[in-house]
Amino acid sequence: MAEHDEDARWALPARALSGVLAAAVTLGVGELVAAVIDTSASPFFAVGSTTVDRSPSWAREFAIDTFGTNDKPALFAGMSILIVVLSAIAGLVERTHRPYGSAILLALGVVGVYAATSRPGASAAYAIPTIVGVTAGIVVLRVLTRRFRAIGDAGTAGEGMSRRRFLVLAGTAAAVAVAAGAVGRHLAETVADAVRNRMGFVLPTVAAADRAPTIPPGADVGVAGATTFATPNDVFYRIDTALQVPKLTTDEWCLRIHGMVDREITLRWDDLVARTPIERAVTLTCVSNEVGGNLAGNATWIGYPMRDLLDEVGVSADADMLLSTSSDGFTSGTPLAALLDGRDAILAVTMNGEPLPFEHGYPVRQVVPGLYGYVSATKWVVDWEITRFDRAQAYWTRRGWAEQAPIKTASRIDVPASFARVDAGTVTVAGTAWAQHRGISRVEVRVDDGPWRTATLAPEYSIDTWRQWTWQWQASPGTHTLQVRATDAAGEVQTEDRADPIPDGATGWHTRSVTVG
C-alpha cells in the first residue's frame, strides 16, 4: 500500500510533464514542417502574429509602455506560460478522463489552424504544420499517460509501464521536440536565399549632385551620452508587427502599383534600380514615442523618389491616399499631397551605406520626411494602391490611430542622465530636438521653472533631420528640475500640453530631475 501511495505521488508531476512534452513536440514538429511549407505557417508564430494583429490599441500601448522594444519577448513569454499551464492540465486530465486531455491539445490545434490560415497570403497548406504537430503531440500524450505499473509488479507483463520506461519515453519526446524545433527555427531564420541575396547586393551609384551633404563635424556635440547625429543600424529603433522578419530576395520582390491610376504597372527589381537614385539623411520617428522617449533614429538612405513613380502611373485627381502594403500584410496610408509636394520621399534600398537590414525592410522600404512611421515608412513594401482616405483604412487607423500624422515638434534631454548626480559648477546639458520637414530654429532650457535660457544649436543639417543642442548650466547644490522645449522654423513653440501617443503622437515638455552634490 505504501508503495502504491509513493507511486501516485510520483504520478502527478509525471502526468503534468507528459502534457508539457506533448505540447513541446507539437510546437517543435510544427516549426519543422512550417520551415518546409512557409515560415509564417508556424503554429506558435501564427498565433502570436494573430494576437498582435487582433489586440486592441490599449493592449498595444500597454505592451509598448511596459516592455518597450521587448514587447515581442514579453508576448512569447506570455504565450509559453499559457501553453505550459494548459498542456500540464491536459496531461493530468488525459490519465483520469481520457480523452479530454487530447481534446485540449486538439482545441489548441484548432486555434493554431485558424491563426495560420488567416495569415496574409495563407493557403490551405498553412494548416499542415499545426495538424502534423498536434497529431504527433497527441500520440506522445497517449503513450506517456499510460498507466504506471505498481512497484513490485515488475514481473507481470503488459500491465502498464515502469518508471524507467516512462523516463526513456519522456526523454525521447523531449529530444524530438528540441531537435525538430531547433532545425525548423534554423531553416526559417537563415532563409539562406535571402541572406545570400543581401550579401551580393550592389550599392547603387549616386550622382555627385544627388548625394547627401557630408555631415559637418559640429552636427555631433561631442558630449558623452548625447544622441549622435547618425544612428548606427544596429542600435536604430525597430517597430513593426512582424514576429518573423520577412526575408525576400530582390528577385522575389516586386511592387504592384494599381487603383486610381492611368496605367497600372508592376515594378521589378531591375526596373527599380534602372532609375536615378538620390541619397538623403532623414530622421524617422514612431508615433508611440513618449515624451523623452527614444523611438527615433537618423540614417542616410539611398532610394528612388516616390514622386517619379506616381507621375509615371498617372494619379487620378480624385485620389488622396497611397495605401502601401508590406509582404506580411501591414498597411499604411500616406497622403498623396505629402508625396507630391517636393519633399524627398523615397523607396529606400540602403541604410547608412549598407543594404537595408532585414529588420529595417530589405530589400525595399519607404522613407518619407515629416510623417510618423505608421503612416509612411512601410518596410518590405510590395503593393501600392492609389485610393482615397474615405475608401480605405490602414493597419493602425483601423485600430484607433489618426489618419493624418505629421511628426510633432519634440525635444529631449539626454545628458545628465535620469536621476544623475553631478558636481556643482558648470554642467553641460545636452540633447536633441526634431520637427521634421519644418526644421528646428531654437531650443530653450529652464531650471526649476525659472526663466527659459537659449541653448546652443548644432549646425542645421537639413529640415528633415534632428538637431542636437547643448547648454552650460551653472549648477548649485540641491535637487533641480531641468526642462526643455523647442521651436520649429515657423516660430511655433512646442506645446506644454501633455498628450498620450494615441491617436497622433505625444506632446509635452521633457522634464528631468538632477541632483547636484
Ligand X SMILES: Nc1nc2c(c(=O)[nH]1)N[C@H]1C(S)=C(S)[C@@H](COP(=O)(O)O)O[C@H]1N2
Number of chain residues interacting with ligand X (CB under 6 A): 18
Paired sense of beta strands 254-259 and 381-387, if any? parallel
Comparison of 374 and 384: residue with beta carbon closer to Mo ion: 374
* Footprint (CB under 6 A) of ligand X, residues 366-425: 373-374, 377-380
- Residue closer to ligand X, measured from CB, 148 or 380: 380
The residue (of 166 and 269) whose beta carbon lies closer to ligand X is 269
Which partner in Mo ion, ligand X, none is near 399 (CB below 5 to 8 A by kind)? none
Using CB under 6 A as the criterion, what x/- string covers residues 316-345 for binding ligand X?
Answer: ----------x---x---------------
Which amino acid does the sequence have at 414? D
- Angle, alpha carbons 437-441-443 (nearest 5°): 115
Residues 217-246 touching ligand X, rule: CB under 6 A, are: 236-242
Residue 284 binding result from ligand X, Mo ion, none, given CB thresholds of 5 to 8 Å by partner type: ligand X
Tell me how far, at minimum, the Cβ of 64 lies from ligand X, in Å. 10
Among 113, 286, 364, 413, binds ligand X (CB under 6 A): 286
Cα distance between residue 249 and residue 226, in whole Å: 37
Q: Which is nearer to ligand X, 117 or 241 (CB)?
A: 241
378 binds, among Mo ion, ligand X, none (CB under 5 to 8 A by kind): ligand X
Q: What's the min distance (Å) between Cβ of 88 and ligand X?
A: 34
At CB < 8 A and 24+ separation, what contacts does 251-254 make? 251/197, 253/363, 253/364, 253/382, 254/382
91 touches, from ligand X, Mo ion, none (C-beta below 5 to 8 Å by class): none
| 284 contributes a contact to ligand X by CB under 6 A | yes
Alpha carbon of 403 to those of 436, 437, 517: distances in Å? 18, 19, 48
Taking the C-alpha atoms of residue 297 and residue 230, their distance in angstroms, rounded to an integer, is 8
Q: What is the chain's Cα-based Rg? A: 28
CA distances from 173 to 36, 208, 259, 300, 494 (A): 21, 62, 52, 50, 60
Q: Nine-digit cell at 75? A: 508576448
What residues between 277 and 336 interact with Mo ion by CB under 5 A?
286
Angle at 76 between CA 71 and CA 81, to 5 degrees: 125
**Of residues 354-413, those binding Mo ion (CB under 5 A):** 373-374
Q: Which is nearer to Mo ion, 184 or 373 (CB)?
A: 373
Whose cell is 507528459? That residue is 18
The number of residues that bind Mo ion (CB under 5 A) is 4
Which of ligand X, Mo ion, none does residue 28 bind (CB under 5 to 8 Å by kind)? none
**CB closer to ligand X out of 328 and 444:** 328
Nearer to ligand X, 126 or 236 (CB): 236
| Joined grid coordinates for residue 513 | 530631475
Binding at 443: pick from Mo ion, ligand X, none (beta carbon under 5-8 Å per type): none
Min separation Cβ 449 and Mo ion, Å: 33
Among positions 84, 239, 340, 499, the unique one binding Mo ion when judged by CB under 5 A: 239
Residue nearest to ligand X (CB): 373
Picking from 288, 304, 309, 301, the residue whose alpha carbon sits closest to that of residue 373 is 288
Distance between CA 265 and CA 277 in Å, rounded? 20
Q: Cα separation of 25 and 142, whole Å?
A: 13
Closest CA relative to residue 374, chosen from 329, 328, 334, 433: 334
Contact 415, 224 (CB under 8 A): yes
Q: Are 480 and 473 in contact (CB under 8 A)?
A: no
C-beta of 140 vs 322, nearer to ligand X: 322
- Is the backbone peptide bond immediately before 451 cis, with ω within 30 degrees of 0? no
Chosen from ligand X, Mo ion, none, partner binding at 293 (C-beta under 5 to 8 Å by type): none
Binding interface with ligand X (CB under 6 A): 236-242, 284, 286, 326, 330, 360, 373-374, 377-380
Binding interface with Mo ion (CB under 5 A): 239, 286, 373-374
